[in-house]
């Protein structure tokens, strides 16, 4: 039997008006336990003291009299938009379990709205308990390791994550959008909250995205934050021009010769694919037991398939000059280590794809530095990050033009040279090493 005392679950306060304490009080736990017991044919259960929360939801452990553990996930917000997100998350997890071996908790029941039919008093999901902590909470938690996977366990963890990543990317729909279950029990793409859709092409998605997503900082805020730095005006202009330039450049990138990905099928992407949403077996066993928190998951263009967030790296020309040396590697030691680990992660993904007999989509996406730059720029713009968006788009535009003009034979030679460069990196030492 699992020892619940080993769970490193904690309460975190993100919004005092939507706190876990308030959610605990408004939830009718007796009604929830009765509902759960009815699902199991009358086996009674109790709500334990093990609780934790994120920004939008809290979780509490339920224990049945026969020792079975479930997780009750309670929504801390209940707007119409939150209801739509929760329903999509439930549909996404059910689609994953039906169509792949990607490990996610099993959902036993859900109620996404508040109404007379919901006796619990809050939107909720009842799901299976995965006996472990997230990789972020393992080994003492963030306060101990600051979110860095221990060097001794990194290779095991990265390979396990890569296996999940391959499964995730193999899940595809003909259109770009959220995942929703039809009345007939099949799954299709639905609208993306705040953007629209579903979209039949990547081009249509990029056009809609830039029409609905706005840089969250005013020009005076940008200048104040940069405190008179010489490049302040360039960054300000780059931010202002990014919306008008992005759709054309992104569409060109999606339509490159030999890489045409403007039309589907489009892969599933987890918006927060990082170690706070990955449950592992134990403090010394970093095999992945489940990937959780699928809120906001969509099918997206291939160019927006990203590395796990713990391997994020700023593109070459997005930041200040001089970040990369003459050898093509970052000058900062930590960034250089991430660079090497990204290359090794791609190799691992490619090997797993070959073992599975898949089409190599994920490794190709991750190895495409230009596509990774586009994904980073869109995420940075949405988050209000200052940077040289103009230089990054210039590079993407040049890459698209180069691919259109390059004969197929020459393009294959360049790809082979890139693989040789990866081998050179490994021979220099440090690839995948702590």
Phi, psi for 135 (deg, rounded to 5): -60, -25
- The reported pLDDT for the residue numbered 402 is 65
Rounded alpha-carbon distances, angstroms, from residue 409 to 391, 397, 405, 416: 29, 21, 12, 11
> Which pLDDT tens digit goes with each residue over 141-166?
888 888 899 999 999 999 999 999 99
Burial of 430: CB neighbours in 10 Å, binned 0-12, 13-18, 19+: middle
- The reported pLDDT for the residue numbered 125 is 97
Arch. (CATH architecture) of 4-128:
2-Layer Sandwich (3.30)
d(CA 332, CA 322): 10
Q: Is the peptide bond before 410 cis (omega within 30 degrees of 0)?
A: no
> Which pLDDT tens digit goes with each residue over 65-120?
999 999 999 999 888 899 999 999 999 999 999 999 999 999 999 999 888 789 99
d(CA 34, CA 62): 11
Residue 21 · residue 58 · CB < 8 Å? no
Sign for the CA dihedral angle at 14, 18, 22, 25 comes to negative
3-state secondary structure the chain: CCCHHHCCCCCCCCCHHHCHHHHHHHCCHHHHHHHHHHHCCCCCEEEEEEEEECCCEEEEEEEECCCCEEEEEEECCCCHHHHHHHHHHHHHHHHHHHHCCCCCCCEEEEECCCCCCCCCCCCEEEEECCCCCECCCHHHCHHHHCCCCCHHHHHHHHHHHHHHHHHHHHCEECCEEEEEECCCCCEEEECECCCECCECEHHHHHHHHHHHCCCCCCHHHHHHHHCCCCCHHHHHHHHHHHHHHHHHHHHHHHCCCCCCCCECCEEEECCCCCHHHEEECCCCCCCEEEECCCCCCEECCHHHCCCCHHHCCCCCCCCCCCCECCCCCECCHHHHHHHHHHHHHHHHHHHHHHHHCCCCHHHHHHHCHHHHHHHHHHHHHHHCCCCCHHHHHHHHHHHHHHHHHCCHHHHHHHHHHHHHHHHHHHHHCCCCCC
Q: Residues in the chain with pLDDT < 50?
A: 406-434
- The reported pLDDT for the residue numbered 299 is 98
- The reported pLDDT for the residue numbered 414 is 46
379's tokens: 């995420």
Residue 55 · residue 263 · CB < 8 Å? no
d(CA 1, CA 174): 43
Residue ranges per structural domain of the chain = 4-128, 138-428
Burial of 348: CB neighbours in 10 Å, binned 0-12, 13-18, 19+: buried
d(CA 338, CA 135): 18
Rounded alpha-carbon distances, angstroms, from residue 67 to 1, 54, 105, 224, 314: 7, 26, 18, 58, 47
329's tokens: 């590697």
Q: How much is the pTM?
A: 0.90
């Amino acid at each position: 039997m699992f020892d619940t005392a080993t769970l490193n679950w904690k309460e975190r306060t993100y919004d005092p008006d939507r706190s876990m304490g308030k959610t605990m009080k408004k939830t009718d736990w007796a009604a929830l336990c009765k509902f759960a017991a009815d699902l199991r044919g009358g086996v009674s259960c109790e709500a334990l003291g093990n609780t934790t929360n994120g920004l939008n939801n809290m979780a509490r452990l339920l224990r049945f009299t026969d020792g079975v553990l479930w997780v009750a996930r309670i929504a801390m917000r209940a707007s119409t938009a939150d209801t739509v997100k929760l329903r999509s998350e439930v549909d996404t997890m059910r689609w994953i379990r039906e169509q792949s071996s990607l490990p996610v908790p099993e959902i036993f029941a859900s109620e996404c709205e508040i109404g007379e039919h919901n006796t619990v008093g809050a939107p909720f999901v009842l799901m299976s308990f995965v006996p472990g902590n997230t990789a972020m909470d393992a080994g003492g938690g963030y306060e101990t390791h600051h979110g860095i996977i221990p060097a001794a366990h990194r290779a095991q963890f990265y390979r396990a994550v890569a296996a999940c990543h391959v499964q995730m990317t193999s899940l595809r729909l003909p259109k770009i959008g959220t995942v929703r279950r039809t009345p007939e029990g099949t799954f299709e793409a639905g609208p993306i909250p705040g953007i629209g859709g579903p979209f039949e092409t990547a081009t249509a998605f990029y056009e809609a995205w830039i029409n609905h997503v706005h840089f969250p900082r005013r020009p005076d805020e940008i200048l104040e934050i940069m405190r008179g730095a010489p490049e302040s005006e360039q960054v300000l202009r780059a931010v202002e021009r990014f919306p008008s330039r992005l759709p054309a450049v992104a569409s060109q990138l999606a339509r490159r010769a030999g890489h045409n990905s403007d039309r589907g099928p489009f892969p599933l992407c987890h918006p927060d694919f990082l170690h706070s949403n990955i449950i592992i077996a134990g403090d010394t066993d970093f095999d992945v037991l489940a990937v959780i928190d699928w809120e906001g998951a969509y099918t997206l263009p291939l160019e927006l398939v990203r590395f796990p967030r713990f391997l994020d790296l700023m593109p070459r020309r997005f930041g200040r000059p001089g970040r990369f040396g003459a050898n093509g590697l970052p000058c900062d030691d930590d960034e250089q280590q991430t660079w090497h680990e990204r290359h090794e992660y791609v190799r691992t993904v490619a090997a797993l794809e070959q073992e599975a007999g898949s089409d190599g989509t994920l490794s190709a996406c991750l190895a495409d530095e230009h596509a990774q730059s586009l994904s980073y720029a869109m995420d940075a713009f949405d988050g209000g990050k200052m940077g040289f968006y103009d230089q990054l788009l210039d590079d993407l535009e040049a890459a698209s033009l180069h691919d259109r003009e390059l004969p197929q034979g020459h393009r294959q030679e360049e790809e082979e040279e890139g693989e040789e460069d990866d081998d050179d990196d490994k021979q220099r030492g440090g690839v995948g090493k702590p």
